[in-house]
Amino acid sequence: MNTLIPVTMVLSLSLAPMKTVEMPQLPEHVVELFKMEKDVSNHQILLFTASWCPACVQMKTNEFPALKEKNWDIGSDKSNHIRVIDVDQHQDLSDKYGVQSLPTLILLIDGKEVSRSGALNAYSIAEMFYNRK
């Protein structure tokens, strides 16, 4: 027997207000990663993303505020800790790095790829950046 969901129920669910989620603080062991004396001026994470990618939006919304709170520069500039690259606008870079899924994070040290990953939490992004994984 097929059960149909009434259209009014579907509409009411889709129009339900979203709850505000409070941003959790970074755990102390994560904060310690940011205090390390290692020279990371030659490190950069490339984040390949798209506006239509739910996992990308979720990572930016949930993880980036904690990183920004610790003075991480996140944006499209080549000097940022995390350089955000929209695949729809920069197909050439997507092809150059062989990006096949979103989000893709690629750690560059001295301009060379050292590691890559899919979506990560703030702690794992910091570990990746400091090349501790």
Instruction: Tell me if 101 is assigned to some domain.
Output: yes
How much is the average pLDDT of 37-44? 78
Determine the Cα–Cα distance for residues 37 and 106; give it in Å rounded to an integer: 22
Instruction: Tell me if 122 is assigned to some domain.
Output: yes
Instruction: Tell me if 24 is assigned to some domain.
Output: no
CATH number at residue 57: 3.40.30.10
Instruction: Tell me if 80 is assigned to some domain.
Output: yes
User: Which strand ranges, in their side-by-side order, compose the sheet holding 112-117?
Assistant: 74-75, 82-86, 43-49, 104-109, 112-117
62-118 tens-digit pLDDT? 999 999 998 999 999 999 999 999 999 999 999 999 999 999 999 999 999 999 999
pLDDT at 19: 52
Instruction: Tell me if 97 is assigned to some domain.
Output: yes
Domain count within the chain: 1
pLDDT at 40: 77
Instruction: Tell me if 81 is assigned to some domain.
Output: yes
Please give the residue range of the domain that contains residue 60.
Answer: 42-133
The pTM is what?
A: 0.73
Residue 130 pLDDT grade (very low, low, confident, very high; cuts 50, 70, 90): confident
Residue 44 pLDDT more than 60?
Answer: yes
Instruction: Tell me if 132 is assigned to some domain.
Output: yes
